[in-house]
Amino acid sequence: MWGIIGTWAMVEEGILLGGRHLSENGSVMDAIEMAVKDVEKNEAYTSVGLGGLPNEAGQVELDAAFMDGKTLSVGAVAGIKDFLHPVSIARSLLDGVFNNFLIGPGAEKYAIENGFERYPMLTQKAKERWETHKLEVEGGLAPYIGHDTVCVVGIDSHKHMATCTSTSGLFYKKEGRVGDSPIPGSGYYVDESIGGAAATGLGEDIMKGCLSYEIVMKMKEMSPQAACEEAVKSFNDKLIERRGKAGDISVVAMNSEGEFGAATNIECFPFVVMTQTRGLMKFEVNQKGEIKSC
Ligand code: SD4
């Protein structure tokens, strides 16, 4: 029973590619990478890869991660500039005993030494958006608008599970700022004996609850849908109680049976799933846990 789930509507084409690969007995590692690469290379998606959201200094700094649910290996990069597919660099870091998570210039040096080519990631449109927004921020608008990380979790017909993420992080973030997306346990986690989960939203808040790990542990006892809802609701309530507010949090999960779930604390969180038995499905979930197909 294979399956693949991803965050936001922009992942639809990628999920279709990954799902087709799984349907042909392909590996989950390739399927999820394929899905995320499809989003990374698409300039129309302004929060991941090419055309991604620039930081305060007008540079596109990218974070990405990959986790293998069989070996529990993690590969990740953060604050990397000018590579088209950060997710592939993250995947290539899975196997070492050391040096699995590289940042900034060190990550870029590693990427070049390992055959990844430089690619200019600041598009003209992103530059123009940054220039307009800079003026708005100077005029008093809150700086950190816009965020949509692509996260994918999957299982193949050999019951192998994996997950990966890729993002340009928050628009207008400080240089060097890293969110939850490359951090294991926070932005993603997978243990194929249980399942996998991944998160999108305000990294600073998602990290406070190690939400992806929390959801995977909950899936030992309950369905992916119940695990996502419980984790998001209880953590959202805790943040409000302790800090007076909670940032945006949206999550997806899939268990070792290929069952899936999603939850959010925002009005509408779109996600896309494809499974062996049900084909391609597009959904939206709201903060009440109501899911509708679209
Ligand atoms: C971050 N979690 O850098 C990412 C941003 C994001 O949907 O997910 N946006 O904090």
- Give the residue from 145, 191, 165 showing the smallest Cα distance to 85: 165
Tell me the pTM. 0.96
Phi/psi at 164 (5° precision): -150, 160
- Ligand 1 pocket test: which of 53, 181, 188, 268 has the largest number of ligand atoms within 8 Å of its C-beta? 181
- Ligand 1 pocket test: which of 149, 212, 271 has the largest number of ligand atoms within 8 Å of its C-beta? 149
- Ligand 1 pocket test: which of 36, 55, 167 has the largest number of ligand atoms within 8 Å of its C-beta? 167
User: pLDDT tens for residues 81-119?
Assistant: 999 999 999 999 999 999 999 999 999 999 999 999 999
User: From ligand 1's centre to the CA of 145, what distance in Å?
Assistant: 11
**Range with lowest mean pLDDT among 5-9, 34-38, 135-139:** 135-139
Would you place residue 138 in the very low, low, confident or very high pLDDT band (cuts 50, 70, 90)?
A: confident
Q: Answer yes or no: are the C-beta atoms of 22 and 2 closer than 8 Å.
A: yes
Ligand 1 atom 10, closest CA: 203
Which pair of tokens denotes residue 25? 């007995």
Is 163 an active-site residue?
Answer: no
Q: Is 54 in the pocket of ligand 1 (CB under 6 A)?
A: no
Q: Is 184 in the pocket of ligand 1 (CB under 6 A)?
A: no
- Domains of the chain by residue range: 3-280
User: From ligand 1's centre to the CA of 146, what distance in Å?
Assistant: 9
Catalytic residue, from 149, 163, 165, 200: name it.
149
User: pLDDT tens for residues 51-78?
Assistant: 888 999 999 999 999 999 999 999 999 9
Hey, which bits of the chain come out as E strands?
A: 3-7, 62-68, 74-80, 101-103, 150-155, 161-167, 188-191, 195-201, 249-255, 260-264, 269-275, 279-285, 291-293
Rg (alpha carbons) of the chain, rounded to whole number: 18
- pLDDT above 70 for 146: no
Which pair of tokens denotes residue 184? 């294991």
- How many residues make up the chain in this entry? 294
User: CA-to-CA distance for 168 and 150, rounded, in angstroms?
Assistant: 10
Q: Name the pairing type of β-strands 161-167 and 62-68.
A: antiparallel
User: From ligand 1's centre to the CA of 64, what distance in Å?
Assistant: 11
Q: Is 182 in the pocket of ligand 1 (CB under 6 A)?
A: no
- pLDDT above 70 for 147: no
Q: Is 169 in the pocket of ligand 1 (CB under 6 A)?
A: yes
Atom of ligand 1 nearest to the CA of 200: 8
Q: Answer yes or no: are the C-beta atoms of 274 and 4 closer than 8 Å.
A: yes
User: pLDDT tens for residues 182-217?
Assistant: 999 999 999 999 999 999 999 999 999 999 999 999
User: pLDDT tens for residues 18-36?
Assistant: 999 999 999 999 999 999 9
Burial class (CB in 10 A: 0-12, 13-18, 19+), 104: middle
Fold of the domain built from segment(s) 3-280: Glutamine Phosphoribosylpyrophosphate, subunit 1, domain 1 (3.60.20)
What pLDDT does residue 247 have? 94
